[in-house]
Structure 1
Amino acid sequence: MSHFIVKKVAVLGAGVMGAQIAAHCVNAKVPVILFDLPAKEGSKNGIAEKAIANLKKLSPAPLGTPELADLIQPANYEEHLELLKGCDVVIEAIAERMDWKHDLYKKVTPFIGENAIFATNTSGLSITKLSDGFEGELKARFCGVHFFNPPRYMHLVELIPTATTRADILDQLEVFLTSTLGKGVVRAKDTPNFIANRVGIFGILATFAEAQKFGLSVDVVDDLTGEKLGRAKSATFRTADVVGLDTMGHVIKTMQDNLPASVDSFAAHFATPEPLARLIAAGALGQKTGAGFYKKVGKEIQRLDFATGGYVAGGGKADETVARILKKKDPAERLKLLRESDNKQAQFVWSILRDTFHYCAIHLESIADNARDVDFAMRFGFGNKLGPFELWQAAGWKQVAEWIKEDIAAGKALSSQPLPAWVFEVDGVHTPAGSWSVTKKAYVPASELPVYRRQVFRAPVLGQTTIDPKTAGNTVFENEEARLWTLAEDGLADVLILSLRGKMNTLGPGATEAIFKGVALAEASYKGIVVWSPTSLDGGAFSAGANLEAMLPTFMKGGAKAIEPEEKKLQDAMLAMRYANVPTVAALSGLALGGGCELAVYCNRRVANLETYIGLVEVGVGLIPGAGGLTYGARRAAEEWSAAPAATPVPLLPFVTKYFLNAGMANVAKSALEARSMGYLLWSDKVVFNPYELLYVAVREAKAMHDAGYRPPMKQLFPVAGRAGVATIMAQLTNMRDGGFISAHDFHLGKTIAEVMCGGDVEAGSMVSEEYLMTLERKAFCGLLTHPKTQERIMGMLQTGKPVRN
């Protein structure tokens, strides 16, 4: 395969999707031009400019940092089509109108570069019919690319070829989407709504039908079809509200218009459900309009009542009997109990699972090359822990097939069409050899594109013999809280990997022990240490900080004096990572809070997934950072101050204030890019967009640092802001307290943080060591443990999981 480098992207259409695709490109440092129609008044780029400005206001934020919006180049079709000649990928993302798209293609075709890929971002229009807008060689470079909304956060992208799309074009685009933009790519066939929306929207329509059949309310359905069922927390109706009911109505209409009964035996259920049609007609389009299936009234979340069309109090939950069934770990037992239960909620859950299994089996051949693509589409696009085929196979392929067959015969299914013959000819769709393809009548392996060699642990499907990253490689040392191990592959076994394994990878005595052990082992026998968590592969935390529950018995038995030695050990562990004679690399993804943040910043280098949320949040439990977080801030402030241009001397305090506010306000970076501006990531640190590539990059970073002759930093004294700095910060805190912006305890915590970071009662500019500041930090941390307001916050967090404001 030729080496395809994407130097610049053009996005045609500055609507919601187009603008956010452009935003994600600049997140990944890909220059992008955002086109739209010329504005009728003012700047002709006005439409694109407005869309770019709006990116800064959206939540969740499509940009890693707001200022990245300024890197998107606005353009219009009247003045700037020549710019298309310099773009390697052109993504069309205008409204879902075939005629509009064809008109645009005629306009831009003469300006598309001779080697550029042209892709349409459509949620369901025929790619083949869209390709009729092209002639000759460009038609071979055209395909569909379906980003899920919002593009930054949704892992799924569907690639859809036509019969004339060149194979190498798909490969090149898949590499770009996978590694540069961090996506999970699934190849879909050119059928209405492709894979994820075809199956997902069918599942929502089936849920509508079965909910009305069993007389279940919106809130009960969502409680049954969310996390209890291994799906996204937003479940069914909440998901519809977030996506937008108008968008959902459009996708449903695509199915209704293009999938008649002659093509799809479930077509009778593709009409827009009457409650949904009423909401759309009333302009209640979900979250964006403040009302949909749910409506917030004051502090109360109300739900739509199907019978009356009005809103009533929500909060309905699953019956305890059904909740217990859904907790069963064995899928076979779980589905058997659901099917055999007389409880209408259990019957409902079995019915929606059966409907989805039935639909996927019938349409596998027409929508996807193999069953793996269907399962990945539903996992990456809808947040399901298992895809439909995975769940079916885990519950017993043959038995579930017989149950579905019996329900079809009994008239319980949504379609009378029998399961296809192939279902009874195989023992499952996923095997070590690959996943079942109806077209090929064989099990086909996963893609072997070179980009997937960057994924040490590729996304697995249940039923394949894949290596469990929690037990993979060669274990060197382990305890209840951590594991030290190495990869088994040649050339990779010389880097030690530290994986935390407690709840949310919190830090307790066992983790501290593993850090010391890891440094000693690495200095003796390895090229470096990488701190990486297997949970990063599915959105889990790097580390949510100190284990407060583990700390509680020690405190109850010996008070703050008993905690101080343990805190000293944790501080020493951080310094051991910083001054190890081999490079230490933190591979970050997800939450890195409190002690997790401290562990990351005390490593010599960080490799962070874009979706890394890092910060010192201890004030939320009435404490201050105690494992070196404040010391890090004071040292980094001094380093940044000393690097300031000598020609324009500035005081140290403003640099300290940035880190003071980070800790005092419990600020958390909303991306790895924002973490750089906050000082938790340095410009020498790497940002990786695909979480599956994180370990690959981190291990090689450690090896490269070692092979380049790595030496640890030398211990040095650094200046602090002293008592004058404390006084200045205190003046601001006093104003905030007296103005009612912070509580008295927040004031006390802020004062304590200032005293530590400024070096205590010393002159401004005094030179101190890390150990000196860590002593101040540790003693202040332990002193707060006896404060009644802090104890209220700690107990509140342990009991409710939410911060207490007192």
Structure 2
Amino acid sequence: MSSKFQVRKVAVLGAGVMGAQIAAHLVNVKVPVVLFDLPAKEGPKNGIVTKAIDGLKKLKPAPLGDAADAALIQQANYEEHLDLLKDCDLIIEAIAERMDWKLDLYTKVAPYIAPHAIVASNTSGLSITKLAEVLPEEIKPRFCGIHFFNPPRYMYLVELIPTPTTRPEILDQLEAFVTTSVGKGVVRAKDTPNFVANRVGIAGMMATMIEAEKFGLSVDLVDDLTGKKLGRASSGTFRTADVVGLDTMAHVVKTMQDNLQADPFYGTYATPKVLAGLIEKGALGQKTGAGFYKKVGKDILRLDPEKLGTEGAYVPAGKKMDEIVSRMLKKAPADRLKLLRESSNPQAQFLWSILRDSFHYVAVHLADIADTAREVDFAMRWGFGSQQGPFELWQAAGWTQVAGWIAEDIAAGKTLSSAPLPAWVTEGPVATAGGVHTPEGSWSAADGAFKPRSNLPVYARQPFPEALVGTNAADPLKAGTELFKNDEIRVWTLDGQVVIASITAKLHLISPAVTEGLVKAVEIAEGGYQGLVVWSPDDVFSAGANLESLMPVFMKLGSKGIAPEEKKLQDAMLRIRYAQVPVVAAVRGLALGGGCELAVHCARRVAHVESYIGLVEVGVGLIPGAGGLTYIARRAAEMAAAGNANADLLMFLKDGFLSAATAKVGTSAHEGRKIGYLLDSDVIVPNKDELLHVASAQVRAMAESGYRPPVKSTFPVAGRSGIASIKGQVANMRDGGFVSDHDYHLASCIADVVCGGEVEAGSMVTEEYLMAIERKHFCSLLDNPKTQERIMGMLQTGKPVRN
């Protein structure tokens, strides 16, 4: 058995934008990290690193899941602390993209690198093989490229790039660590300029700029055409360039200009006049406040390239695609491409042109840049936010048909390069299979064969890895053995031991049908299984209760009709909490309102690190009504008991009350734990695709350990004196104009529940007793005109109404 690669500590060399954010993400996933930079010329020697770490707290989107964790990044400089490298198992170099600087640094640190440590360069395009040349012979086999995408916390893609001297098992070890511990999707790239994602993505952006000029389309219109409606990142093309930084983009383009003279698409790598002009003016995009766009007050203005350098260079933005083009984009891939190609509308012709250019480009370059078409498609999904990679879309639209259209356009001189499509596109196994992705594997143009996915042990932890069109991968909502199903929930098992409940309703909202399904799932699990996992295969655990599903009852019977439904939901939560088998919530993405309440009533939670958990009901003028406030009161009593018999209950209630009263949402699983919706005993998982595996393993472990549900018992509440104290503080906020009268009313209802109503402080109550108070307030709020305003506002606009 091969020994496991243990990563006890990572060193990141370089505290620039990428280095500091890579260090921040390692802290997010609880990997100890030391961040190095040059010694500061004046003041404390670690000044440069200190400044970079302080900067992390201000960046948006936040690089840290919990800003306080910035303190966990150890600070170091190359003059005093090189000895620290000896304790590091992985060293990631992330300094500026200058070959000479990198080589100089490698020479300096080489004597301090541990004999087993892996060394990797985070570069977006420099040759990894060239970088390796300066390293001592004994380090070369442990050296490779590692390319994180910006921002590292949120971008799923990491490219790994071997050199001819990298030992294969080193790459395997690094891939396992980056997948499970860092939570990323790994694509292996060949050591060619800009690797896979940037090579294809930036070439696509250049092609888009060329075609946009050809068709005379403005930057805002192009972004609308190449954004969400096309199945790409919502920022489109020019907005993406602004976010990346126009200087960074120009740098990637220059790598192509310098190293790809023989490329048949070389002509498209010329820096566009407008890009050069903006850089010359110092307008580098978002970081300088102006690029292709400029924000003036609340208005977003766009560049008019004709006026670049003049006073009126920026004009109002907001152009949208023609309705007819928008309708074409809603069609199935085959019809969509046919309509775009045959339309006389310039916007449609532009879209056909950029799609054709991307298909042409990846076909011509596949053999050189990646092992198979799989790497290209995943790189574009994970690195550029496309819903489908270029090969997938081509295959979905009809491989042979589209290949014919591309060939016709090449012959007619309409394409950006006159290079013919490679022979494998139109003859042999790919043509026979109808595309590059098959159940056997994806096409390798270099090897002339379909190659299966990696079988590294780390991938056995992903029951349903992300799949590509044409691979016939198992659909998690059709897989396994079905045990029960209704319109909004599926109860099933993969292994015959653990039951899985998957909510299938939109946003996994909890309706009476879901409540019924959850109770049924508990019954099935108790009848002969080890336990139950509540898991769904996308980025929402549950966004809350389905208010719309209760509308008909409310219209007919008013809030009196809602009370029994509300009680059913509360009873279901208690049924889950006191189930005879462990129930584990596998939380990913949103767990809001009722979704949060469902999670906290489970025996344990396994949460993906990017989970957003909170009780948000006050946003629609309600209070948590499915036991969320009862949970807060019970937890406060448990913490007080654990802390000190004479402890003041209110001290422990304060945070829970505030979180519910202000609709506070944890912006990561770690923050969710700080607020109290996740406990120390809960598990946080870095990789979204490993969530089901870990949650099922927790169920089995708990069952094997002789799981017993908690014993039903009473607990003390803060009573009427607690209510008075909380209301007094909220009244001050109301009188100071910080909260509205209705907010005060909502806070009073919450205080009434968490303190146990009109009883003496220290009175012992049951969960059912508190849930009855919760229910009473929930129903009376439904009759409140201010609450009705908030609910209608949310249903109509999706935004909270402040009233």
Normalised to the residue count of structure 1, the TM-score between the two structures is 0.97
Shift of 1:645: 4.8
| Aligned-partner residue type, residue 171 of structure 2 | L
Q: Which residue of 1 aligns with 2:343?
A: 341
> Does 47-56 or 457-466 show the bigger shift?
47-56
User: Which residue pairs with 2:437 in the alignment?
Assistant: 430
Look up the SS of the partner of 1:144 in the other structure. strand
Give the counterpart letter for 2:207 in structure 1: A
Alignment match, 1:594: 593
Residue 416 in structure 1 maps to residue 418 in structure 2:
yes
Amino acid at match of 1:304: L
2:684 paired with 1:687? yes
How far apart in 2 are the matches of 1:576 and 1:295? 55
Counting only pairs closer than 5 Å after superposition, residues 162-561 of structure 1 correspond to structure 2 as 162-260=163-261, 262=262, 264-309=263-308, 310-328=313-331, 330-425=332-427, 426-427=430-431, 428-487=435-494, 492-535=495-538, 540-561=539-560
What amino acid is aligned across from residue 369 of structure 1 in structure 2?
A: D
The Cα of 1:683 is off from its aligned counterpart by 0.7
CA distance in 2, matches of 1:344, 1:720: 69
Matched ranges for 1:31-180 at <5 A: 31-180=32-181
**Partner amino acid for 2:466?**
A
Find the aligned partners of 1:502 and 1:717 in 2 and give their Cα distance.
Answer: 35
- One-letter identity of the residue aligned with 1:463: G
1:764 corresponds to which residue?
A: 761
Q: Deviations over 1:683-742 (max 9, x none)?
A: 110000000000000011111101110000011111111111111111221121122211
In the alignment, what sits opposite 1:780?
A: 777
CA distance in 2, matches of 1:687, 1:239: 31
Given residue 576 of structure 1, which amino acid in structure 2 is its aligned partner? R
One-letter code aligned to 1:735? N
- SS of residue in 2 equivalent to 1:525: coil
Letter matched to residue 536 of structure 2: S
Between the aligned partners of 1:282 and 1:657, the Cα distance in structure 2 is 53
| Residue deviations 1:11-36 (CA, integer Å, cap 9, x gap) | 11111111111111122221111111
Residue 622 of structure 1 corresponds to 621
Q: Which digits, 9 at most, give the CA deviation of each residue in 1:731-768, with x for residues without a partner? A: 22112112221111111111111111111111111111
The DSSP-based 3-state class of the residue aligned with 2:541 is coil
Partners of 1:564 and 1:294 lie apart in 2 by 52
- Which amino acid in the other structure matches residue 318 of structure 2? G
Moved more, 24-33 or 171-180: 24-33
Separation (CA, whole Å) in 1 of partners of 2:154 and 2:334? 33
- Structure 1 CA distance for aligned equivalents of residues 647 and 288 of structure 2: 48
- Aligned partners of 2:729, 2:198: CA distance in 1, in Å? 53
- Residue identity opposite 1:542 in structure 2: F
Unaligned runs of at least 5 residues, structure 2 = none
* Secondary structure, counterpart of 1:316 in structure 2: coil
Q: Distance in 1 between matches of 2:496 and 2:231?
A: 35
Measure, in 1, the Cα distance between the counterparts of 2:752 and 2:634.
14
Mapped to 2, the partners of 1:300 and 1:503 lie a distance apart of 34
Q: Secondary structure at the match of 1:342?
A: coil
Task: Look up the equivalent residue of 2:758 and give its one-letter code.
Answer: D
CA drift of 1:657 comes to 1.1
* Pairing of 1:588-737 with structure 2 (within 5 A): 588-645=587-644, 650-737=647-734
Letter in 2 for 1:219: D
Higher alpha-carbon deviation: 270-279 or 369-378: 270-279
For 2:287 and 2:573, locate their aligned partners in 1 and report how far apart those are by CA, in whole Å. 45
Which secondary structure state, in structure 2, belongs to the residue aligned with residue 140 of structure 1? Answer: helix
Say which SS state the counterpart of residue 542 (structure 2) adopts.
Answer: coil
1:120 positional shift: 0.2
Contact preservation (8 Å) 2:502, 2:534: yes
Mapped partners of 1:747, 1:245: distance in 2: 48
Q: Which residue of 2 aligns with 1:22?
A: 23
State the Cα distance separating 1:298 from its structure 2 match: 2.3
* C-alpha distance after superposition, 1:746-791 (max 9, x if no partner): 1111111111111111111111111111011111011111111111
Distance 1:12 1:109 in 2: 13
Residue 432 of structure 1 deviates from its aligned partner by: 1.2
CA contact (8 A) 2:110 2:136 kept: no
For 1:606, what is the secondary structure of its paired residue? strand
After superposing the two structures, state which structure 1 stretch, 235-244 or 571-580, moved more.
Answer: 235-244
Deviation track 1:372-425 (CA, whole Å, cap 9, x = no partner) reads 000010011111111110111111111111100011111111111111111112
Q: Report how many residues are paired.
A: 793
- Cα distance in 1, alignment partners of residues 591 and 272 from structure 2: 43
Deviation per CA, 1:167-205: give whole Å up to 9, x if none.
011001001000000010000011111000000001111
Runs (4 or more) in structure 1 with deviation over 6 Å come to none
% of aligned pairs identical? 68
Query: Deviations for 1:55-93, whole angstroms, at most 9, x for unmatched residues?
Result: 222222212212221111111111111111111100000
User: Could you tell me which amino acid in structure 2 is paired with residue 307 of structure 1?
Assistant: E
Once the two structures are overlaid, the 10-residue window that deviates more, 119-128 or 749-758, is: 749-758
Aligned-partner residue type, residue 482 of structure 2 = T
Q: One-letter code of the match for 2:685?
A: V
Structure 2: distance between partners of 1:727 and 1:237? 56
Cα distance in 2 for residues equivalent to 1:738 and 1:236: 48
Q: Tell me, which stretches of 5 or more residues in structure 1 are unaligned?
A: none
1:274 shift after superposition? 2.1
Rounded Cα–Cα distance in structure 2 between residues aligned with 1:384 and 1:639: 47
**Counterpart secondary structure, 2:139:** helix
Q: Distance in 2 between matches of 1:790 and 1:295?
A: 39
Instruction: Report the AA paired with residue 777 of structure 1.
Output: E
Q: TM-score, normalised by structure 2?
A: 0.97
Matched letter for residue 462 of structure 1? V
